[in-house]
Amino acid sequence: MASDPHMIFEAWLAEARASEPNDATAMALATADAEGRPSARMVLLKGHDARGFVFYTNLDSRKGEELAANSHAALLFHWKSLRRQVRVEGRVTPVSSEEADTYFASRSRDSRLGAWASDQSRPLETRATLEARFAEMQARFQSDVPRPPRWSGFRVAPERIEFWSDGAHRLHERRLFVQDSNGWHESLLYP
């Protein structure tokens, strides 16, 4: 059964991009604080290779603070149209400044301005406050919008990847890949 889970993921993601009515790169990100209290939210996959799965955020957001306190996370992709899921668990590390700069520059101007205007996860008195801050950023950055110092990305380096496929009579297929110093090892799990 030995296969490369990253190649399987790329094939499944390509199928999801062709069939999902909404964003195929949407994934649930689960983090936990220093005391182990979990939280989950949806984020977008912005890169994937043998090193791991990349997403971006404000480092002062709740997820950024939780990852600073506890560098383990889990991801879940759910592609309903394909009746498939992919679960990823692993250690999280920051992306390089160069990677973060390159991705930030690829975003729309308004998205870049929004990153400056938002104190992500902090209390907001009124929507008008956010809109005023956005207008301030439009005036401040007439041309280039640099990456804010507290905005970057993380890479989840997988230690476990599970591929789940729906089966008749709840006889689902679950393929588990676990990585150790000798590479990936595949096994099956009961549904």
Is 127 annotated as catalytic?
no
| Residue of 133, 147, 160, 170 with catalytic role | 170
**How far is residue 163 from each of residues 19, 84, 85, 143, 159, measured CA to CA in Å?**
18, 8, 6, 45, 14
Environment class of 179 (CB within 10 Å of its CB; exposed 0-12, middle 13-18, buried 19+): middle
CB 20 within 8 A of CB 81: yes
How many residues in total does the chain contain?
A: 191
Per the structure block, which two tokens stand in for 52? 């791991």
Q: Which of the residues are catalytic? A: 170
